[in-house]
Amino acid sequence: MEGREAMKEKKNSPEVFASCSFSSLGLHPTLCDQLKERMGFEVPTHVQAQAIPVILSGRHVLVNAATGTGKTVTYLAPIIHHMQKYDPRIQRSDGTLALVLVPTHELCMQVYGILQKLLHRFHWIVPGYIMGGENRSKEKARLRKGISILVATPGRLLDHLQKTSSFVRTKLRWIIFDEADRILELGYGKAIKEILDILGSRQNMSVKKEGNKISRTPEAQMQNLLLSATLNEKVNHLAQISLENPVMIGLDKEKMLTKPSYEHTGSLGSERIVELEHSGNVLSSSNDEYKLPPQLVQRYVKVPCGSRLVGLLSILKNLFEREASQKVVAFFSTCDAVDFHYSLLSEFQWSPTSQSEAELRQLFIQYKIYRLHGNMKHEDRRTTFHAFTTEKSALLLSTDVAARGLDFPKVRCIIQYDSPGEATEYVHRVGRTARLGEKGDSLLFLQPVEIDYLQDLEKHGVSLTEYPLLKLLDSFPLYGRMHHVKNLVSLEMHPWVLSLQKTLESFISTEPRMKKLAKNAFCSWVRAYTAHRGELKRIFMVKKLHLGHVAKSFALKEQPSLVGKSVHKQTNKRMQNQKQKGLAKKRKVSSIS
């Protein structure tokens, strides 16, 4: 929980908070007390003020609100409000009444943690979670005992729905899709359909008892909710099959496909709440302007491929030396790239200010470094997640597993070292900072050949200014001398870049373990680069890459052809395979992150 003073300061921020109280929204007084005492929430945010009364009314709802605006409590509070009113009281034998579907393990744990706090005074409502990678039999035992509010990742949930006969869900009333668009992007669409079928919660279908499917009538009053900061046309199908006459919150009328039957702004101010006449397509494909926190400072840095690594290290050094206490998250495209950079940054020693032995043995980046990706052991992921949450000053290197929903407090800067691809991912990655009205910076690395990506972001209402990298490089003294280089032909020729690159390359070449990590990272990075899809293939063209320069960005000295040949082979083979399987269109996100 944050300090009371910080919370008070935030409370006065009218862009973030509404001018009403939680109790005025209709929430039970004990729940309002919990929000205040356990969470430190004095007043609702705008999205909470708008959505909580609508969700309390029992309607199906689609919520689109910027990252870090409090969507989690928006859906949890009304559900808890209703559950604590049940008479007789809910018992464990009632099984699951509410199901929260999330895309990642970390988000699963985070939502579960919030539930534990909110349910402190409602001990008869039991929270729980199930997710891939956990011990199935332990989960089975927990399900058998009964979990009132269950947070789950889709694959594992489907597994238990199909195989765990003691999983009681006949009284299920709520299904929530948190980060709905991401759940679909990860390829869970089919699993979701099956889940809805098994739960008898699919709209426009007559539900019969068949096998392990259950019977449910409309009177059972299911209420389903879909939430994200980037609700777009991709969730149309999910909205169609899971929502009935949904109310839309935070979506601009002109971007919706379906004509609203009426619209009201109520007493809650400027944002729209729109009720829809029917459950046809709800979002048009032009609905692609994403809301970003207005205080977020967004920049890009243009770096030639061969100098990317030096650029990254220099920027990180500057960030942590400028402000000792801060948290930074850097995003990479693959697990191997995270592993390589994690080891490099944790071990690389060099002091550019002196030639003395002792000083040369100083770590270049002297901060705590963490890593997070999908190939790590479950236990390690959990430890990292908790450790980085509590750290005051640290650097987290991650794949997109950390891009969605995670609420690490006080992250000051987001670095996207590898491009996020889709604009939605850009929005969620930068959304790990500048949360709830706090300050935040973001920096996107682009090679000169990728600069058109800025136009792609512009189409989604995202605009960035350039970061002065050259000025930063000039500011580093090299062996006691400053290097202000006039008429520099290219950034690669800057003395600081040359010197650091040379030191990095000799470090890697003398450490076989590091060299192996670098080669693996290089190969998977190129593979990920070829996996961009649609319009983005025009911007991130593997043909435009100079593989020798890519190798340099992993501090590899090898002849480009040596490493490059095998990668070209792999890339071609992969593309052929994709064509054959008709998979060319689809980017395999899960294998990368």
The residues binding ligand ATP (CB under 6 A) are: 41, 44-45, 48, 65, 67-73, 229, 405, 407, 431, 435-436
Name which of 127 and 405 has its Cβ closer to ligand ATP.
Answer: 405
Least CB distance to ligand ATP at residue 67 (A): 4
Spell 56-72 as b/e; 16+ CB within 10 A means b: beebbbbbbbbbbbbbb
DSSP one-letter code for 289: P
DSSP one-letter code for 469: H
Beta bridge partners of residue 175, listed in sequence order? 99, 224
Name which of 407 and 425 has its Cβ closer to ligand ATP.
Answer: 407
Name which of 2 and 466 has its Cβ closer to ligand ATP.
Answer: 2
Among 9, 6, 36, 2, smallest CA distance to 22 is for: 36
Helix (H, G, I), strand (E, B) or coil at 363: strand
Name which of 31 and 436 has its Cβ closer to ligand ATP.
Answer: 436
The residue type found at 387 is A
Provide the 10 A C-beta neighbour count for residue 516: 12
Rounded CA separation 97/149 (Å): 6
- Do residues 178 and 75 lie in contact, with contact meaning Cβ atoms separated by under 8 Å? yes
Among 61, 152, 48, 156, smallest CA distance to 100 is for: 152
Rounded CA separation 550/261 (Å): 54
Least CB distance to ligand ATP at residue 540 (A): 25
Least CB distance to ligand ATP at residue 409 (A): 6
Least CB distance to ligand ATP at residue 262 (A): 27
Name which of 41 and 340 has its Cβ closer to ligand ATP.
Answer: 41
Least CB distance to ligand ATP at residue 10 (A): 6
Rounded CA separation 254/286 (Å): 9
CA distances from 371 to 132, 342, 579 (A): 20, 6, 34
Beta bridge partners of residue 62, listed in sequence order? 226, 248
**Which tokens go with 466?**
């350039």
DSSP one-letter code for 187: I
Rounded CA separation 557/521 (Å): 14
Name which of 105 and 435 has its Cβ closer to ligand ATP.
Answer: 435
Cis peptide before 293 (omega within 30 of 0): no
Least CB distance to ligand ATP at residue 123 (A): 22
CA distances from 315 to 158, 312, 473 (A): 44, 5, 9
Name which of 336 and 407 has its Cβ closer to ligand ATP.
Answer: 407
Least CB distance to ligand ATP at residue 21 (A): 10
| Phi and psi, residue 363, nearest 5° | -65, 140
Least CB distance to ligand ATP at residue 217 (A): 33
Name which of 164 and 224 has its Cβ closer to ligand ATP.
Answer: 224
Least CB distance to ligand ATP at residue 506 (A): 41
Name which of 22 and 417 has its Cβ closer to ligand ATP.
Answer: 22
Least CB distance to ligand ATP at residue 329 (A): 12
Position of minimal CB gap to ligand ATP: 70
Least CB distance to ligand ATP at residue 190 (A): 24
Which residues does 252 contact at the CB level (< 8 Å), separation at least 6? 272, 287, 289
- Do residues 158 and 191 lie in contact, with contact meaning Cβ atoms separated by under 8 Å? yes
Query: DSSP string spanning 364-393?
Result: SS-S-EEEE-TTS-HHHHHHHHHHHHH-SS
Name which of 38 and 136 has its Cβ closer to ligand ATP.
Answer: 38
Name which of 114 and 508 has its Cβ closer to ligand ATP.
Answer: 114
